[in-house]
Amino acid sequence: MSRIAADLLAWYDRNARVLPWRTPPGAGPADPYRVWLSEIMLQQTVVATVKPYFGRFTTLWPDVVTLAAAPREAVLAEWAGLGYYARARNLHACAGVVTRDHGGRFPDTVEGLLTLPGIGPYTAAAIAAIAFDRPVAAIDGNVERVMARLHAIKTPLPAAKPRIRAVADAAVPAERPGDFAQALMDLGATICAPKTPRCAECPLAGDCAGRLRGLAATLPRKTPKPPKPARTSAVYAHFRNDGAILIETRPDSGLLGGMIGLPGPDWTKHPPTPETIAAAAPGAADWQRAETEARHVFTHFSLTLGVLVATGPALQGRRYMAFEAARAAAPTVMRKAMEIARAGLRDGARITASAGVKKNTPPDEGGARWGRAAGPRQDFGKL
């Protein structure tokens, strides 16, 4: 074992984070189901956010077989708010494949894990190392940062990835590779932080070329990203007389696939025309546009949704759900739109500012921006 691996494992034995999906240092491989579930949840998400979701999932579905048997709608509902909803669809699909094709046991190699839905190179390596003690490097953002600093790799990401992969592979010890993978993750999350590395506390400080050259805080370097594009659209929030809200299940393909939401036209680069809005109406009603828009930022674009509100008898052929149940099961952007709509009902169809939303144009400009829809009792310019 190299000195770097030995020093890092000694540090990990004293300082490992206590996480619900882990076994203690030196205790051997962890439960593959819990490792897999945590790694899928942790993609693009921080530990503090994941913990309560992980707790609920493992209480409801303590193993891969029970998760596979759960209705997909229930899994998606429990995932609501965690984001990146393709992960939840793939999670349920993967549980089904493992149960049906592998007897409820996860493959124990990177190659076998890569055949499963929703598992890419990093996740396969992390499961193989942590759950099966395979000597492979699991390279996430934390590990990229540690390796770039340790070896003073100045080439910007993503061009630096092959070099980082090479040095990370070379660092993996034959003994305790699962603990080593988690030690690198912990070092990056707690000591080798993105902007303010705590070099004085780092067990690898003496071997860190980035620190010795005064570059640690500037690494890894990244190629500038282009500005994030914006999209816009509108959604309809219809409340039945008993307070239930109209919902629909979004198609499996595309963003928020399989999740519940509010109906409306496609999300586009330019504001929808009055004709487009009218064509997407779920039925004839006294639709009024809220003064507040629902705004949300996804990984690759930002979204602004106008909210159109109405009440009355159920619209024919449409599905309704109790408001709180719908709100709990909806993805974040739809939850924001639902809250705007409900606030409008409380305030006489005038929307008050709430978390995650921004005031829209003044009432007398609303009609100019969104227009009036054709057809009976569809007036989007009232507010």
Q: What residues are annotated to the active site?
A: 39
Cβ neighbours, 10 Å, residue 303: 17
Query: Cα-atom radius of gyration of the chain, to the nearest Å?
Result: 25
Distance, C-alpha 350 to centroid of its chain: 32
Pairing of strands 302-312, 230-240: parallel
Tell me how far CA of residue 75 lies from CA of 88, 320, 376, in angstroms: 7, 20, 39
Cβ neighbours, 10 Å, residue 312: 14
Pairing of strands 292-297, 357-359: antiparallel
Which residue type does 309 have?
V
Tell me how far CA of residue 367 lies from CA of 16, 56, 263, in angstroms: 58, 45, 20
Left if phi > 0, otherwise alpha if psi is -120 to 50, otherwise beta: which for 214? left
User: Residue 287 in contact with residue 371, Cβ under 8 Å?
Assistant: no
- Taking the C-alpha atoms of residue 78 and residue 57, their distance in angstroms, rounded to an integer, is 8
Cβ neighbours, 10 Å, residue 16: 18
User: Residue 270 in contact with residue 297, Cβ under 8 Å?
Assistant: no
- Within 13 A of 359's CA, how many CA atoms are on the CB side? 6
Cβ neighbours, 10 Å, residue 28: 10
